[in-house]
A and B are shown apart, each in its own frame.
Chain A
Amino acid sequence: MQKYDFPDVGGHFGQYGGIYMAETLIPAVEELRRQYLIFRDDPEFKAEFAYELKHYVGRPSPIYHARRLSEYVGGAQIYLKREDLNHTGAHKINNAIGQALLARRMGKKRVIAETGAGMHGVATATVAARFGMECIVYMGAEDIQRQAPNVFRMKLLGATVVPVESGSRTLKDACNEAIRDWVTNVDSTFYIFGTAAGPHPYPMMVRDFQCVIGNEARVQMPEMIGRQPDAVIACVGGGSNAIGIFHPFIEHESVRLIGVEAGGHGIGSGQHAAPLTANAKVGVLHGNKVYLMQDENGQIVETHSISAGLDYPGVGPEHCLLKDIGRAEYVAINDDEALLAFDALCRFEGIIPALESSHALAHAMKIAPGMDNNKVLLVNLSGRGDKDMNTVARLKGITL
């Protein structure tokens, strides 16, 4: 394989990515890129980021061998990278800390964020409290309903949560509204974007902040099993937890990288959130060119997933490139398969996973039986499931 070095200076991953934004925001993303490139290599910034990750987030997160689950499933051994054990309960905090440190250095006292499952919103509200910044979180009205505990958490942390009633009232609409806020308050405001998508430099910057996951795993796996895993599996919404664990493994060519999208009611039903698996047409939304779920006229279509954090019609540009060059594979897991995996992890390991992460786990459980029991699958357990209690209870017909 040729040396893998993306994005280019304009933020392109092959034909994907870029800065497809309105003029008002272009100088802002330019300035962000300039500042990020300075601080990325600044020893003081790096030390502060590392300090926060260790003492505030609680890193490194452990890797756990899910023995009973592996035995139950049969075949390959399933290992979990425990991002659910991070402060605030998901990988999102890695990125939120990084961007908050940058915001502080850029003198921005007001931060905004979009959120789907609420984990990025909680992470942003948390770091805003930690660093004394004003925080506004945009969240689709539909997601506010299905992730009620996270809405309360954000409010406890001092954030203002703004319900978004337009469009499908989910993550993409929350993004639209956050962008509208940013364009209005561009001078005072830092947009803490939650996934490895959006205009350059976000896909690169979010990836870099999330790479702590893969960098740790690449050291931890040989310590535990004497070698790297056979495959690394992660769920893909916008793609930040996946790229964070994949990227450090790209050069380890024998390690399969498998991204798991939300299959919703099934790819054939059209009600899903799996643009890569369904081979959606390439298009432009939210500042980048990516595989994008749309109708024949280029209107973005409504997506469906039980998991709010995966319920998004696009995907980060680097995953689009990794799919095209064949370095990563992308598959979809349906709602019901994810729920079965959710239950299995609760019952066999005493770990309640996020519904997002349950998708990755479900795929591991699907392919493990076809593999020898000396093979190893490393699943990125991107978050914990406390936020999903209402959704899961409702699906089981239980009122809390």
Chain B
Amino acid sequence: MSRIQAVFEQLKLANRRALIPFITAGDPNPQFTVPLMHGMVAAGADLIELGVPFSDPMADGPTIQRASERALKHKVSLTNVLGMVAEFRRQDARTPVVLMGYANPIEAMGHEVFARLAAASGVDGVLTVDYPPEESAGFVSVLRQQNIDSIFLLAPTTTDARVEHVVRLASGFIYYVSLNGVTGAANLDVDDVALKVASIRRHTSLPIGVGFGVRDGATARAVGAIADAVVVGSRMVQEVENSSEAEVVANVGRLVAELRSAIDAQL
């Protein structure tokens, strides 16, 4: 059983929702990434989404764009990110790590090389924003050979027929993007999301995470009531951005703990 599957099964038995915080690897600088990851796990993160910095983050709003820029100032490459995951794994063999990023750094490394190195580093899942199912059958099977899950996005615009197509390639969990927009937008409509999540469930038994637009305890709680996992991105990155280096790990941990208790409170 994959680490991702194991975590979701445990949570299900406990009737709890997964909290998935996102940070960009190398932000604010490379030394902080592994401590931030451990800090988030200690504060209640169930799974970590680690952003791979890219020069042209087309699906991201200004907050995560700036995080990418900060990381790229330190020349953080995909190889470096895999190194960070490997370092994290030395102390944490349980918490799944999903890489989230864009196609070109993976293209540049090559699918096979990437899959092999990612598996060796302890990566559990890969979400590539600009690899839609139409272009990723080959990549998915290369990842599968290394027991790495392919996480796919579904969106409000996704038709039922496409959902059917996507869930056939997906494993680990499904990431439902709560709104039409870039990361960091703030107009998530919980009722719409509930309808869409229910309709996705008719096509798959995979756990469903919801992200984009989760800004605080209240939205986290509302999303936790309808989905299996709550993904928090820009709000985490904003905390990194607004914290001094001395305080960043503590501040990010505090935010995760806050979100954790908000999500758990309803149950």
Q: What is the interface of chain A, defined by CB distance below 8 A to chain B?
A: 10, 18-28, 166-167, 172-173, 176, 179-180, 183-187, 281-287, 289, 292, 294, 296-300
Q: Is the interface of B mostly helix, strand, loop or mixed?
A: loop
B198 interface residue per 8 A CB criterion: no
A172 touches B56 (CB 8 A): yes
A166 touches B132 (CB 8 A): no
A286 touches B155 (CB 8 A): no
B106 touches A24 (CB 8 A): no
Q: A183-B59, A298-B105 are in contact. Are A20 and B180 (CB under 8 A)?
A: no
A21 touches B158 (CB 8 A): no
A283 touches B104 (CB 8 A): yes
If A10-B134, A297-B108 are given as contacts, then 8 extra A-B residue pairs at C-beta distance below 8 Å, sorted by A number, are A22-B58, A23-B152, A167-B55, A184-B185, A284-B102, A284-B104, A299-B55, A299-B104
Q: How many residues of B contact A (CB 8 A)?
A: 42
Complex: chain B residue closest to A20, CB-CB = B130
Contact flags B11-52 to A (C-beta < 8 A → 1, else 0): 000000000000000000000000000000000000000000
Would you list 20 pairs from A and B whose C-beta atoms are within 8 A, ordered by A residue? A18-B134, A20-B103, A21-B132, A22-B58, A23-B152, A24-B155, A26-B134, A27-B159, A180-B58, A180-B61, A183-B59, A184-B185, A283-B107, A283-B108, A284-B104, A284-B130, A289-B107, A297-B108, A298-B107, A299-B72
B135 touches A18 (CB 8 A): yes
B134 touches A298 (CB 8 A): no
B54 interface residue per 8 A CB criterion: yes
Distance in Å: Cβ of A232 to nearest Cβ of chain B: 32
Complex alpha-carbon distance, A18 and B132, angstroms: 10
B180 touches A300 (CB 8 A): no
Residues of A within 8 A of B77 (CB): 297, 299
- Between A and B, how many residue pairs show CB distances below 8 Å? 118
Our pick among B65, B108, B159, B166 for the contact of A298 (Cβ within 8 Å) is B108
Residues of B within 8 A of A179 (CB): 58
Q: A27-B159, A180-B61 are in contact. Are A296 and B108 (CB under 8 A)?
A: yes
Residues of B172-216 contacting chain A, CB below 8 A: 177, 180-182, 185
Residues of A within 8 A of B131 (CB): 20
Complex alpha-carbon distance, A284 and B76, angstroms: 19
B56 touches A176 (CB 8 A): yes
A183 touches B104 (CB 8 A): no
Our pick among B78, B106, B134, B181 for the contact of A183 (Cβ within 8 Å) is B181
Complex: chain A residue closest to B62, CB-CB = A166
**Looking at A26, A28, A172, which has the most chain B CB atoms within 10 Å of its CB?**
A26
Identify the 3 closest CB pairs spanning chains A and B, nearest first. A298-B108, A298-B105, A297-B77
